[in-house]
Amino acid sequence: MIFLDVTQASRSPHFSGLNRVSACLRSAGSDVVTPIRWREWSGELGPGDCFLTSELFSDEERPGIRTWLARRGGRAVAVFHDAIPLRQPQIAWARSVGRHAAYVKLLAEFDDVLAVSADSARDLDELWRWQGVVPRARIGVITLGADGLGQPRGVPPATMPPRNVVAVGILEPRKNQTVLLDAAERLWRRGRLFRIVVVGRVNPHFGGPIARRVAALGRRYPGLVVHEARLDDVRLAERLDGARCTAFPSLAEGCGLPVLESLWAGRPCLCGDVAAIRESAVGGGCEVLLPHDVAAWEQALERMLFDDAHWRMRMREATERRLPRWSGTIASVLQACRGHRVAAGTGV
């Protein structure tokens, strides 16, 4: 039996990337996984059983997990997202920085740790070396699915979609919405009219300045900037269907799931030039831009929104390329749960 840890996802009201991964693993593996919450679970594993988690945790949040890992009877497999709090602490919440080092050490006690990108796998290996840890765990790489919104694969639309841009991500410095807003304002000042829909809650610790920037632009350009803090999967799919492209200018990611989901919807994506995002962007349908180059974002937005031939080319790339599915992701995860090494997961 495979016990899937949904401790955080089962009680969180947020539509975060981590919660989406947990939900998609649960859905894709519905016939083989049993959801559990740590404090309510006996912790008993028999021969052939496996504990699986894609959540972040500590000894405080999962009381006794360190001792349990040392004494468990079956296998333990974890999905690893990123090392951003340790690699780039200047753009992370202080509490995240503080707990991430302990979390990474706990991961070393698992049987397998499955990174969501090759970039994250390299980071984890380097962090263990830096910590002086000799891990029990093997590192594998899986690819997250693009079909997590539960919608059919996008097809070329019969008519040109509205000039709308959707930007998904919590409002905080790491997601770098400022460069997108600055580029958009330059275009609006030149009379180029289009709409940006910003989808994401405000980080309560340091998202305030970005939220105020969004609000100020909304007052200056009514109807051109829309902030929707909470959207479920159905409504997010509707926003993607009603957009010409998406924008994801993030400074750091473990994978960049919004890029994959944009491509699944058949919408090209303008995205930040960081290693983990490039892994998803290669193959067509994306334009990779330096995260702080406002002029480059301005030009890319204008081309995508107002050059119909260019948009059609990128849209065809997005709809024709092969994309990973969650059925492939869970197949790779189950390999690890059964004791097989996962060197790389395609999920296609």
Which residue has 């390329």 as its token pair?
A: 321
CA distance 68 to 263: 41
Sign of the Cα torsion 224, 225, 228, 231 reads: positive
Supply the CATH number for residue 314's domain. Answer: 3.40.50.2000
Query: pLDDT value at position 345?
Result: 46
CA distance 116 to 120: 7
Percent of the chain residues topping a pLDDT of 70:
98
Query: pLDDT value at position 109?
Result: 97
Domain with 112, as residue range(s), is 2-145+325-337
Averaged pLDDT for residues 68-88: 94
CA distance 252 to 82: 9
139 in the same domain as 265? no
CA distance 5 to 19: 11
Averaged pLDDT for residues 108-113: 97
Query: pLDDT value at position 296?
Result: 98
211 in the same domain as 126? no
In a domain, 140, yes or no: yes
In a domain, 300, yes or no: yes
332 in the same domain as 283? no
In a domain, 221, yes or no: yes
331 in the same domain as 267? no
315 in the same domain as 170? yes
Query: pLDDT value at position 344?
Result: 58
- What pLDDT, in 10s, does the model give residues 327-340? 999 999 999 999 99
Averaged pLDDT for residues 226-251: 93
Averaged pLDDT for residues 134-145: 97
8 in the same domain as 81? yes
Averaged pLDDT for residues 252-260: 94
Summary mean pLDDT of the chain: 93
Query: pLDDT value at position 336?
Result: 97
In a domain, 127, yes or no: yes
Query: String of b and e for 221-259 (b: at least 16 CB within 10 Å)?
Result: beebbebeeebeeeebbebbeebbbbbbbbbbbbbbbbb
293 in the same domain as 171? yes
287 in the same domain as 211? yes
In a domain, 348, yes or no: no
In a domain, 303, yes or no: yes
CA distance 180 to 218: 14
In a domain, 159, yes or no: no
Report residue 300 as tokens. 């890319």
Query: pLDDT value at position 206?
Result: 87
What residues pair up with 197 in beta bridges, in sequence order?
Answer: 166, 226
CB 86 within 8 A of CB 124: no
In a domain, 55, yes or no: yes
Averaged pLDDT for residues 153-160: 92
CA distance 271 to 289: 6
Structural domains counted in the chain: 2
Helices (H) and strands (E) in the chain, counts: 13, 12
Which residue has 């693993």 as its token pair?
A: 25
